[in-house]
Chains A and B, each alone.
Chain A
Amino acid sequence: MSEWLESAIARAQGINDWLAPKRAHALELLANTKWPTRKTEAWRYTPLRPVERTQAKVISDKVDLSPVSIADLSAIELVFVNGQFDQAQLVKTLPEGLSISLGGDLGSAEQTDALSVFSTIKPERHIFGLVNDALAQDVVVVTVAEGVEITQPIRISSLLSQGAESHTRVQVALAAGSRLTVIEDVQAQGESFNTAFVEYNVAANARLEHYRFALQTGSNVAIGGSHFNLHDHAKMNSTIVGFGSDLSRLDTDIIHAGEFADAKLNAMYLLDGKELFDLHATVEHAKPNGKTEENVRCIVADRARAVFNGRIHIHRDAQKTLAELNNRNLLLSDKAEINTKPELEIYADDVKCAHGATVAQIDKQALYYLQTRGVSRSKAQVMLNFGFINELIDLMPNAALAEWIRPIIRERFAQMEVK
């Protein structure tokens, strides 16, 4: 066991709040978990040295930080600063049918409800998920009442000052037939360490639009997860955009717990320098007639390393499932590295499942074509790389977000190519 984990466990033992039974359970599991090494399948390509070396500390003094503003986006801001929920940044009156509150402030009935879901959607196998269970500072519970459509998106921002450590946790429950858009974002100032996990329970006929931006680069360690439980006829559409850092790891789990659920996941990541980004996307089809479509695209430059693990698991009962995973990767430099593993585990016979993965360079003919039209080679490269990612940005349902992220990505490409 690493020193880091030992100290984390020691710190967690002092916490006594409404989550105490859940925290105790996580600690029990952690005590029996081996610190991941190269031989640990889930961390095979992602060494944990940056975690072992981190100097980040929990900062309890109040710091003023606010999230970057996005033009044309009027979101309900749910802000954590260094792991603490900043009530002051939340609007005073929420739309009818929406509630956002600290788990500790909930009435006992609501607290029982929240406890019954806590850590049931996020799988127990993830060691840092357990760390988050044990150490989460403020846990925020978001609920949408039955049949209510919340038109304003909720943005969950986790902001970290230099050298800060934070563990944030949000639980989102969409009641039957409701609709909600959630944006998750982490912004860190450097030398930070954070774990950020969100669990979504999407009831029958509800719809969730989801975004996760992992754009912190440099000397930050960011480990997190977005986990979804889909009931009958529930629908979700998720977009993930990631840049790498010293260590960025994101786990998503989509569980088809009901029939006729529909999930879409589009993920893109662009890595530069010595960055590392690791995406583990797992889909569990536990019930029949589910549908999943995943598109994952990745561009790796310089000495960066990209890791992707896309697992689709079709359980015995999940007949008539349609599941597709498409993973495309571009390597821009001879020092860069891509490790990808699309997995299928299938126990039902009447299903249609496919995955495809490619690793290559930019199409030489396309490059040549642009050059014959007078575009410089480096410009042509940026254009083609951008086009590769832009196809997925075009699929983002929220126009304001798409317009915000497009120039950020374009700028990143320009930086990547200059070297």
Chain B
Amino acid sequence: MTEQIDKALAREYEAGFVSDVESETFEPGLDENVIRRISEMKGEPEWMLEWRLSAFREWLEMEEPEWALVDYPKIDFQSISYYSAPKSMKDKPKSLDEVDPELLRTYEKLGIPLIEQQMLAGIAVDAVFDSVSVVTTFREKLEEAGVIFCPISEALHKYPDLVKKYIGSVVPKKDNYYAALNCAVFTDGSFVYIPKGTRCPMELSTYFRINEQNTGQFERTLIIADEGSHVSYLEGCTAPQRDENQLHAAVVELVAMDNAEIKYSTVQNWYPGDENGKGGIYNFVTKRGICHTNAKISWTQVETGSSVTWKYPSCILKGDNSVGEFYSVALTRGRQQADTGTKMIHIGKNTKSTIISKGISAGRSNNSYRGLVRMNPGAEGARNFTQCDSLLIGDQCGAHTFPYVESRNPSAIIEHEATTSKVSDEQMFLCRQRGLDPEKAVSMIVNGFCKEVFKELPMEFAVEAGKLLEISLEGSVG
């Protein structure tokens, strides 16, 4: 059995190739000049530069958070390059035909053919390569519906008022150490605006990829769903296989106005490092959404990559009757460490939240759920249900649960449940009796374990997520 686990854990990271794209990359290092240069490269308005600089000054005063159950050497922020762009992007392509074919091939290898499949799937994609957004597909069709979907750097030029109004409104500049760093050095990301009463005609998608060596990726996503609108947004991530650790510190802000709904799905498959824990991405991400009256935000995440994950997609349920959801599958193996969960802050009356978290640990990994449910005094009739299940595969891994429950309203109801178990001998026996080999059986059992979350994912993503888990789990139980 141990052999099988070892074999499975030694599997190749499929997105680990490096693309040979000529690129323009800043020298490693971080000071105000670097920030000025980033801002200049992007041709940003003056207020944006000021905003970045003030965030940077705050960041210098802040301390790195140490409360998460993760262990990694101190990051040298001066050894990271804060900007990298493929050279051919200098003169921005006007359409797909003008994009560097090497870049397109990269995305094809990753299984995101920007053209054909998207036609079939009807998903509009914004692809972010290192620090810049490469291409956004299906623009015209979206424009017809009045939907704005473009790189945030472009939005700064075209819709500065919208950006200025909402950027930093959900995740303040000095929210936390990595968010502050992101504010200072973010390079690109997606911007989405759905006008009043509009149902976005297709699913929107961003693919992030880190390609350059010694670079960090700091993208920023801002989604605004105006009153009564609806949008479903997908996010995927990969990176090449490298020996050194790379930092990814993103910020995602969602604003759901009255009666709006945002569904945000992530499949995170950054390079997890090799089985000895060498290399891999540090994924330190701040994601938060604010719900106004009757609005709904739903986070779904499938986390299989990164050597260290530190991520808590959260909902501020400000408006009455607003709804927050968090569905998560986090799988760790090798020496991966994940500390992930959510925060549900109930402020409005009759607000509701649901948290379903499934953690699967294998190899020598550690997987923690850390969550907060807070009922403020005004959260009359609020309701929360939380379920955290952990599955352990092998006896060298760890599964942990740290739920914080805070209630200040007597009419609020909170329920929290957590269980930890392993794939039982009975389940295995039953499957093997039916002629399934052990690998298939485990994959089936794990898929069943995660079903509640997978069913929340858009179909294409659900298929990808299921496949990802299957590869990761190959033969991990005999």
How long is the Cα–Cα vector from A334 to B392 in the complex, in angstroms?
A: 41
How long is the Cα–Cα vector from A261 to B64 in the complex, in angstroms?
A: 41
B194 within 8 A of A: no
Instruction: Label chain A's interface by main secondary structure.
Output: strand
Asked if A361 and B410 sit within 8 Å, CB to CB, the answer is yes
A357 within 8 A of B: yes
What is the CB-to-nearest-CB distance from A319 to chain B, in angstroms, rounded to a whole number? 7
Asked if A344 and B400 sit within 8 Å, CB to CB, the answer is yes
B76 within 8 A of A: no
Indicate which residue in A334, A337, A343, A361 contacts B400 across the interface (CB closer than 8 Å).
A343
- Give every chain B residue within 8 A of A38 (Cβ-Cβ): none
Q: Which residue of A lies closest to B67 (CB)?
A: A41
Asked if B408 and A337 sit within 8 Å, CB to CB, the answer is yes
Asked if A349 and B395 sit within 8 Å, CB to CB, the answer is yes
What is the CB-to-nearest-CB distance from A73 to chain B, in angstroms, rounded to a whole number? 37
B residues 398-425 touching A (CB-CB < 8 Å): 398-422
Asked if B420 and A357 sit within 8 Å, CB to CB, the answer is no
A395 within 8 A of B: no
Indicate which residue in B392, B394, B412, B416 contacts A342 across the interface (CB closer than 8 Å).
B416
Indicate which residue in A319, A343, A356, A357 contacts B402 across the interface (CB closer than 8 Å).
A343
Asked if A352 and B413 sit within 8 Å, CB to CB, the answer is no
How long is the Cα–Cα vector from A332 to B409 in the complex, in angstroms?
A: 9
- Give every chain B residue within 8 A of A329 (Cβ-Cβ): 407
A residues 205-219 touching B (CB-CB < 8 Å): none
What 1/0 mask marks residues of chain A from 58 to 73 whose CB sits below 8 Å from any chain B CB?
A: 0000000000000000
B390 within 8 A of A: yes
- Give every chain A residue within 8 A of B355 (Cβ-Cβ): none
Indicate which residue in B394, B415, B417 contacts A349 across the interface (CB closer than 8 Å).
B394
Chain A interface size band reads 35 or more
What 1/0 mask marks residues of chain A from 247 to 258 whose CB sits below 8 Å from any chain B CB?
A: 000000000000
What is the CB-to-nearest-CB distance from B93 to chain A, in angstroms, rounded to a whole number? 49
| Given A339-B405, A357-B416, also A349-B410 (CB < 8 A) | no
Asked if A360 and B413 sit within 8 Å, CB to CB, the answer is yes
How long is the Cα–Cα vector from A359 to B405 in the complex, in angstroms?
A: 8
Q: Which residue of A lies closest to B384 (CB)?
A: A359
What is the CB-to-nearest-CB distance from B210 to chain A, in angstroms, rounded to a whole number? 32
How long is the Cα–Cα vector from A316 to B394 in the complex, in angstroms?
A: 11
Q: Which residue of A lies closest to B404 (CB)?
A: A341
A350 within 8 A of B: yes
How long is the Cα–Cα vector from A346 to B361 in the complex, in angstroms?
A: 11
| Given A346-B392, A349-B393, also A356-B399 (CB < 8 A) | no
How long is the Cα–Cα vector from A354 to B408 in the complex, in angstroms?
A: 25
- Give every chain A residue within 8 A of B421 (Cβ-Cβ): 351-353
| Given A350-B395, A353-B420, also A342-B406 (CB < 8 A) | no
Asked if B406 and A337 sit within 8 Å, CB to CB, the answer is yes
Asked if A355 and B401 sit within 8 Å, CB to CB, the answer is yes
Asked if A356 and B408 sit within 8 Å, CB to CB, the answer is no
What is the CB-to-nearest-CB distance from A284 to chain B, in angstroms, rounded to a whole number? 14
Asked if B405 and A346 sit within 8 Å, CB to CB, the answer is no
A340 within 8 A of B: yes
Asked if B414 and A344 sit within 8 Å, CB to CB, the answer is no
Asked if B401 and A344 sit within 8 Å, CB to CB, the answer is yes
A338 within 8 A of B: yes
- Give every chain A residue within 8 A of B409 (Cβ-Cβ): 331, 334
A336 within 8 A of B: yes
Q: Which residue of A lies closest to B422 (CB)?
A: A349
How long is the Cα–Cα vector from A353 to B410 in the complex, in angstroms?
A: 29
Q: Which residue of A lies closest to B380 (CB)?
A: A334
Asked if A341 and B410 sit within 8 Å, CB to CB, the answer is no
Indicate which residue in B407, B415, B422 contacts A331 across the interface (CB closer than 8 Å).
B407
A124 within 8 A of B: no
B residues 99-121 touching A (CB-CB < 8 Å): none
| Given A352-B421, A356-B418, A359-B414, also A346-B407 (CB < 8 A) | no
- 18 additional contacts, CB 8 Å, given A336-B410, A360-B413? A316-B395, A329-B407, A334-B377, A334-B408, A337-B406, A338-B408, A343-B401, A343-B402, A344-B400, A344-B401, A345-B400, A354-B420, A356-B415, A356-B416, A356-B417, A359-B407, A360-B412, A361-B413
A residues lining the B interface (CB < 8 Å): 41, 316, 319, 329, 331-361
